[in-house]
Amino acid sequence: MPAGTPPPPATRCWCPRWAPLGAGLAVDGTTVRFATPQVKKPVVYLGQTEVDERVANCFSVERQILKRLGHHPRIVRFLGLQGEGILLTEASHGNLQAYLDSHPSTGLGQRLTWCLQVAEAIDYIHSRGVVHSDLRPANLLVHETMPGALDLQLCDFGGSVCQDLGLDGFSLPDGPFYSPVFENESSTLLDIFGMGSLFYTILTGRWPYKTSPGRFAKVDDRLDWEERIVYPNFKAGRFPDVEQLPGGNVILKCWMRQFATARDALAALEEALPGTSSSSIHDGLDNSTKTMGAPDLSDDSRNIQDTAA
């Protein structure tokens, strides 16, 4: 950074993934409180010492992985340590989940750009030997990199895995971004599977199998939905209908584990979306007003593709 250049805006990031009751803070353009996370195994009550050790591990994992990733336009920038937290650049428009919920009329051009940016981010971290292992819209930040350009930055690496560095944050994604076929194992294929669900969510404004936008008001309702609908369908190879979506075939191949690498998925997406740029500045396309026609998902049972055969 040239001498005299003011540092970018930054916010302390607290992300105690294993904190009691799941309470925590994270960079979001502002400070937020998380709900209790999903429990995929029987509840084990930890003593304070164990909690402290796991929190410390998450901070250590995130710090080391962010240093390994370095500067990249699709990755939140690590500025260093501050007290007991880590310092990251601020995202001007919060996280992607909140943005999609509050801006349902976001144009198709912007949504397609975000899909490409997600693929770029995942391809990059995999090239650096990192598995994110917790992909979901809330872990993508929306930042105005220049007037009118809203770009995505992948964040929250506290639960990630890097075998080269011997790091494991022991995390798994939430239900619609995870499938039981992975048997609680982090891998690049798990990230690619989650990438398909991210594409679907960006394009429709809804999580896979969910018939309305937005998050669940109650954690118990979400957990029940995941156990009754999400996991059984994913495990059986029954997926939401993506035929009407741009790049729908790419989404389906992500879910069906037909891409060996994120680079393959990115190349397929670029081929499926000719003329789409990963830059948020689109010539001749008004992203603020041009909307897309998402498929009618009012009845999930009529919009599930059975690929198990």
Percentage of the chain beyond pLDDT 90 is 61
Per-residue confidence at 48, pLDDT binned at 50, 70, 90? Answer: low
Residue closest to 77 by CA, chosen among 153, 3, 161: 153
Domain assignment of residue 170, yes or no: yes
**Do residues 134 and 156 touch, judged by C-beta distance below 8 A?**
yes
Residue 4 confidence (pLDDT): 56
pLDDT score of 8 more than 80: no
The DSSP symbol for 5 reads P
Domain assignment of residue 47, yes or no: no
Per-residue confidence at 301, pLDDT binned at 50, 70, 90? Answer: very low
Look up the CATH number of the domain holding residue 180: 1.10.510.10
Residue closest to 202 by CA, chosen among 95, 93, 85: 95
State pTM to two decimals.
Answer: 0.78
Measure Cα distances from 152 to 32, 112, 270 in Å. 19, 12, 17
pLDDT score of 292 more than 70: no
Which has the higher per-residue pLDDT, 21 or 56? 56
Over residues 112-124, mean pLDDT:
98
Domain assignment of residue 55, yes or no: no
Of 81-85, 140-144, 249-253, the one with minimum mean pLDDT is 81-85
Over residues 289-308, mean pLDDT:
48
CA distance 184 to 119: 23
CA distance 168 to 178: 18
Over residues 45-56, mean pLDDT:
69
Which has the higher per-residue pLDDT, 285 or 81? 81
Q: What is the CA radius of gyration of the chain?
A: 19
CA distance 109 to 144: 16
For 85, half-sphere exposure in the C-beta direction (CA atoms, 13 angstrom radius) is: 14
Domain assignment of residue 26, yes or no: no
Q: Give 192-227 pLDDT, tens digit per residue.
A: 999 999 999 999 999 999 999 999 999 999 999 999
Domain assignment of residue 137, yes or no: yes
Backbone phi and psi for residue 286, each to the nearest 5 degrees, phi listed first: -85, 100
Look up residue 267 and give its two tokens: 């190349």
Which has the higher per-residue pLDDT, 171 or 128? 128
Over residues 68-94, mean pLDDT:
89
Q: What is the pLDDT of the chain when averaged over all its residues?
A: 81
Measure Cα distances from 114 to 78, 92, 96, 107, 160 in Å. 22, 16, 10, 11, 22
Domain assignment of residue 4, yes or no: no
How many domains, in total, are found in the chain? 1
Query: 116-132 burial, b for 16+ CB within 10 Å, e for fewer?
Result: bbbbbbbbbbbeebbbb
Alpha helical stretches, state H, 162-296: 188-204, 219-225, 231-236, 248-255, 262-272
Domain assignment of residue 184, yes or no: yes
Domain assignment of residue 124, yes or no: yes
Residue 279 confidence (pLDDT): 76
Of 35-49, 106-120, 223-237, 270-284, the one with minimum mean pLDDT is 35-49
Give the domain extent around 299. Answer: 92-303
